[in-house]
Chains A and B, each alone.
Chain A
């Protein structure tokens, strides 16, 4: 607060006090909209860009690849894109929580591999032959326990998360290698369970896709209205109903377009429903629960959180457990898509893509700023780049170069936006 420390600093104008907190009731709908657009531009100018850069970036990438290859816009490719981003998006949701408390987890790639391998081993029909739900439950319990272990070491021994999870990266890559090569000489183990294979390879019947969309819209409308009613009952400022309706219409239109397009191909992928549900759940946890509030507080000012009576260590441990859990879910989704696991499962670009997705999506590496949504948006960008490059038949090297460029661009946009926020006193 440099401007507060300077002697004789200009104080905020007097007299625009409590009356201003509840915005004057707009007379007309047009006026409400004008006011909303005006405040949105004011936010943009002050450097609070929100999800705008990434949405612009996504459109730019879509236009670019669409103009270079006629297959990019096909409904088949649209569904492929959803399948490609699912695994990364899921793992990235856990990474978002870790970044929110200003830590890092370098192990999520191979932890996802451990989860996938454990599930696959338990499913082998000739040997173990576990039911799918038990195999998945044990795999997720294992990856959650791994996250818990990382969190315990980081908080109790006070070792930086960077080092602990780097050790985890090496350890768990070794575990994946041992488990796969000891089970099969080639190291490749096929998944033969229909339910598990269906996770990433089944599609909803057309009608279900539409019913699901309607259900989601009805639920969010009900939630928003309940919120407005509660705010009005307490005499607290609420968002204009016109804006809520417009937002729902926009979301409904985009959703309808997506369902219609997917239905023209194979239908809405089951995995899209799973990722969507996880997104809703973790967004709820982050924004509407006490735990979520404490996560943001620990990332913003750990000392303030501690003095407020928050058990900071417990929040940290829980966050690493979430990262482990979501890595496990992502690993199962990826294994289902590839229909097998091998010694390289969870390796390659997976870890870097998951962290890049969270950062490209707008979650700060410095803690306290970010949303679960950024995992989805960032994964969409990474999947779009990979998908477009594959269509163009470019070598993997180009894919990495472009993904790196996008990541750098995202960080630069954030850095410039932060400077603008600092200049306008919002940082």
Chain B
């Protein structure tokens, strides 16, 4: 890790949905050029955390710092303008459109009012090439005809094409076979090598240990551990996921904050 100052840092963020305390004073950070894994059991608060970063819903309390400056994110557009892109698990690709149309969806280039197809196609190609995505036969092929790994690659390339600084991947390997998982993990590594901060959410500890530099463990809405991949073991992570020490017992929040 060459850079120590975090690219994105969250301090003490909380989120409550009615009676449910989804996040409680969570600290989270990702540095430029590193892959930060976010792990935890179902209901640990992983999705709530990234949705807060993405601007889907606002945190109730806590600070966000982006490249050293305090920021507020009120909506998906705020996140995008900071350079934070999220690749959701369902990828959000339109099957009937080709790769170029999907990568430029909502941000199409035009000359006057006509779509500038050659420029878009050329930039898509070079983005895919720069990520060493070589399995696509043609960028003019409809996304419907792509394999799961290729679709993931297109979704990731779409996220990095916009000068993004942070890319958050939600379960990118969940639906993939062995070889395709390999390709996607290689791609994730290359993103970090390009200097992006990468957050990867995964249930698969094998994948996490293969690609991550650091691992943040959430349990019951709280941050129970931040581990260096090089100095930890799968057993330690599993222990943190299932029995990590909590700052407070759920339901006792009132007494603690009082």
Beta-carbon contact of A12 and B150 below 8 Å: yes
B180 CB contacts on chain A under 8 angstroms: 4, 9, 11
CB < 8 Å neighbour of A1 from B80, B138, B148: B148
Asked if A231 is an interface residue, CB under 8 A from chain B, the answer is yes
Interchain CA distance A235-B118 in the complex, whole Å = 8
Beta-carbon contact of A4 and B151 below 8 Å: yes
Beta-carbon contact of A301 and B92 below 8 Å: yes
Asked if B177 is an interface residue, CB under 8 A from chain A, the answer is yes
Beta-carbon contact of A20 and B93 below 8 Å: no
CB < 8 Å neighbour of A299 from B96, B118, B140, B183: B96
Least CB distance from B58 to A in Å reads 18
Asked if B77 is an interface residue, CB under 8 A from chain A, the answer is yes
CB < 8 Å neighbour of B139 from A21, A304, A369: A21
Kindly identify, within residues 83 to 141 of chain B, every residue whose CB is under 8 Å from any CB belonging to chain A. 88, 90, 92-97, 101-102, 105-108, 110, 113-115, 117-119, 121-122, 125, 128-129, 134-140
Beta-carbon contact of B177 and A8 below 8 Å: yes
Least CB distance from B42 to A in Å reads 20
- Contact A308 B177, CB 8 Å, known A9-B147, A11-B147: no
Beta-carbon contact of A3 and B147 below 8 Å: yes
A303 CB contacts on chain B under 8 angstroms: 90, 92
Chain A positions 297 through 341: 1 when the CB is less than 8 Å from some CB of chain B, otherwise 0: 101110111011110000000000000000000000000000000
What range describes how many residues of A lie at the interface?
A: 35 or more
**Number of residues from B at the complex interface, CB < 8 A:** 52
CB < 8 Å neighbour of B135 from A11, A231, A235, A307: A11
Beta-carbon contact of B108 and A426 below 8 Å: no
Asked if B4 is an interface residue, CB under 8 A from chain A, the answer is no
CB < 8 Å neighbour of A297 from B88, B105, B114: B105
Beta-carbon contact of A369 and B96 below 8 Å: yes
Closest 8 CB pairs of A and B: A4-B148, A17-B134, A308-B106, A300-B94, A300-B96, A368-B96, A304-B92, A234-B118
Binding site for B on A (CB under 8 A): 1, 3-9, 11-12, 14-18, 20-21, 227, 230-231, 233-237, 288-290, 293-294, 296-297, 299-301, 303-305, 307-310, 368-369, 425-427
Binding site for A on B (CB under 8 A): 76-77, 80, 88, 90, 92-97, 101-102, 105-108, 110, 113-115, 117-119, 121-122, 125, 128-129, 134-140, 142, 144-151, 175-180, 183
26 contacts between A and B (CB under 8 A): A3-B148, A4-B149, A4-B175, A4-B180, A6-B177, A7-B177, A8-B177, A9-B148, A11-B149, A17-B135, A18-B129, A18-B134, A21-B139, A227-B118, A231-B118, A233-B118, A235-B122, A236-B122, A237-B138, A288-B115, A293-B101, A297-B106, A300-B94, A308-B107, A309-B77, A426-B144
